[in-house]
Amino acid sequence: MTDTSRELRVGQIGYAFMGAAHSQAWRTAPAFFDLPLTPRLTALCGRDAAAAGAVAERFGWESVETDWHALIERDDIDLVDICTPGNTHAEIAVAALRAGKHVLCEKPLANTVEEAELMAQVAAEAAQNGVFAMVGFTYRRTPALSFARQLVQEGRLGTIRHVRAHYLQDWLVDPDSPLTWRLDKSLAGSGALGDIGAHIVDAAQFITGSSISSVSGVMQTFVDSRPISGEHATLGGSGSATGERGPVTVDDAAAFTARFDNGALGIFEATRFATGRKNALRIEISGSDGALAFDFEEMNILNLYDGSDPAETAGFRRIVVTEATHPYVAAWWPPGHGLGYEHGFTHQVVDLVNAVAAGEQPTPSFADGLAVQRVLAAVEASSEDDSRQQKVPHDPDPVRAVAPVAREGEAS
């Protein structure tokens, strides 16, 4: 059982989508896992006191702050959990670490490489004093993806040659979907690339154990303006519901090829315009001796191909990743009773609490987050530099470019 005499007092900044997921994780983890420290939901911070108060009451947070500076200054906070837009990550994380607080920061780590470099440097300095920081790439804690990494580490796939990773959503297909902070570059840093592309970059490097060394990418914005609602009036308009539209300043989709430092080739796609796909984080890895494939829309399933099987029975094997021997699963339900989206956040809390209690650096570290940030920046730079894209020549009119064949009786 959890030793309730030792607490980890948590202060969380942000209470919306990610804030709710993190809140659920903090309160759920000690109920299912034996932890060396008991998370205590000490304070929830948000600019809207009434809204933050409602969330605090729902999840069991003990108090509410409306200024993150005040939260960091509190003596009864051991760890600061950052669930805010990317433009605030660096300032909050640096202040918290320098105040001696452990930090969990949502991904992507920052909006720029320069911010991420500062965060990683401060985190490294803090770690020398036993204060630790982790970035929240929760998909790597999906049992099937953790199991995939294990299989690769065991050599089941042999030499890794290909990585195909896609993160497909469709929530922006409607051109009249309202403007949100995720569509403002000053707040989000980038669009599909940073929001969901960061996840597949981290997942690919996590599973293969290899780093992306070079990229060539393209980015596209399909809808350059969207309706402004009252909630998002600060994003460039009055906030009236009169049909006024504000500019979209980020990418709707990004695609890039990559080389890994182990010699493998990668193909990546991140889009919020994949009609019919809700949350399809898909990854396929091909090696000399086998392959694996995963899709988060079937998150409890991992498909494995064993190249040593005889040809007449060879094929992808469907593995239901719910056995007690699979990563994280033993603490939950009997085999066959699948887990869901929220469980990755709980596993994140478990790993973070265990590392902090042991005085060890949790992963992914801010240095890992910086590595992902550098990949994102390289994709963006590649997309902006047209000279790196090889143009494909086309005839101006393919029909007329081919001389017509003379029919019988006609002059040629």
Q: Are 182 and 296 spatial neighbours (Cβ–Cβ below 8 Å)?
A: no
Q: Are 284 and 175 spatial neighbours (Cβ–Cβ below 8 Å)?
A: no
Q: Are 162 and 264 spatial neighbours (Cβ–Cβ below 8 Å)?
A: yes
Check: pTM over 0.85? Answer yes or no. yes
Residue 161, phi then psi, degrees to nearest 5: -120, -35
Q: For residues 228 and 180, what is the distance between their CA atoms, to the nearest angstrom?
A: 8
Q: For residues 167 and 271, what is the distance between their CA atoms, to the nearest angstrom?
A: 7
Q: Which long-range contacts (CB under 8 A, 24 or more apart) does 211-215 make?
A: 211/260, 211/261, 211/371, 212/258, 212/259, 212/260, 212/261, 212/266, 212/375, 213/258, 213/259, 213/260, 213/261, 214/258, 214/259, 214/378, 215/256, 215/257, 215/258, 215/259, 215/375, 215/378, 215/379, 215/382
Place of tokens 């030793």: 3
Local structure of 271: helix, strand or coil:
strand
Residue range 250-290, pLDDT digits in tens = 999 999 999 999 999 999 999 999 999 999 999 999 999 99
110-136 mean pLDDT = 98
Q: How confident is the model at residue 1 (pLDDT cuts 50, 70, 90)?
A: very low
Does the structure show a pLDDT above 80 at 213? yes
Domains 7-138 and 143-298+300-339 share a fold: no
Q: What kind of architecture, by CATH, is found in domain 7-138?
A: 3-Layer(aba) Sandwich (3.40)
pLDDT of amino acid 345: 98
Q: How confident is the model at residue 386 (pLDDT cuts 50, 70, 90)?
A: confident
Q: For residues 89 and 78, what is the distance between their CA atoms, to the nearest angstrom?
A: 18
Residue range 293-325, pLDDT digits in tens = 999 999 999 999 999 999 999 999 999 999 999
Q: Which CATH class is domain 143-298+300-339?
A: alpha beta
Encoding tokens for residue 412?
């040629």
pLDDT of amino acid 237: 38
**pLDDT greater at residue 192 or residue 230:** 192
pLDDT of amino acid 255: 98
Q: Are 42 and 76 spatial neighbours (Cβ–Cβ below 8 Å)?
A: yes
Q: Are 65 and 42 spatial neighbours (Cβ–Cβ below 8 Å)?
A: no
Q: Which residues of 72-94 are buried (b: 16+ CB within 10 A; e: fewer)?
A: bebeebbbbbbbbbbbbbbbbbb
Local structure of 324: helix, strand or coil:
coil
171-198 mean pLDDT = 96
- Write down the domain spans for the chain: 7-138, 143-298+300-339
Mean pLDDT, the chain, integer: 93
Angle of CA points 16, 352, 84, to nearest 5°: 25
Q: How confident is the model at residue 234 (pLDDT cuts 50, 70, 90)?
A: very low
Alpha carbon separation from 106 to 97, 98, 271 (Å, rounded): 15, 18, 20
Q: How confident is the model at residue 191 (pLDDT cuts 50, 70, 90)?
A: very high
Does the structure show a pLDDT above 50 at 138? yes
Residue 147, phi then psi, degrees to nearest 5: -70, -40
28-43 mean pLDDT = 98
133-162 mean pLDDT = 98
C-beta neighbour count of 205 within 10 angstroms? 23
Q: How confident is the model at residue 4 (pLDDT cuts 50, 70, 90)?
A: very low
Q: For residues 84 and 115, what is the distance between their CA atoms, to the nearest angstrom?
A: 15
Encoding tokens for residue 212?
């992306």
Residue range 62-76, pLDDT digits in tens = 999 999 999 999 999
Q: Are 365 and 134 spatial neighbours (Cβ–Cβ below 8 Å)?
A: yes
**pLDDT greater at residue 14 or residue 230:** 14
pLDDT of amino acid 396: 77
Does the structure show a pLDDT above 70 at 401? no
Q: For residues 375 and 200, what is the distance between their CA atoms, to the nearest angstrom?
A: 11
Q: For residues 71 and 258, what is the distance between their CA atoms, to the nearest angstrom?
A: 41
pLDDT of amino acid 359: 98
pLDDT of amino acid 243: 76
119-128 mean pLDDT = 98
Does the structure show a pLDDT above 70 at 239? no
Q: What is the DSSP letter of 364?
A: S
Q: Where are the alpha helices (DSSP H) in 250-296?
A: none
Q: Are 251 and 219 spatial neighbours (Cβ–Cβ below 8 Å)?
A: yes
Q: For residues 294 and 310, what is the distance between their CA atoms, to the nearest angstrom?
A: 23
Q: Name residues whose C-beta falls within 8 Å of residue 244's C-beta, 6 or more positions apart in sequence.
A: 227, 228, 237, 238
Residue range 334-376, pLDDT digits in tens = 999 999 999 999 999 999 999 999 999 999 999 999 999 999 9
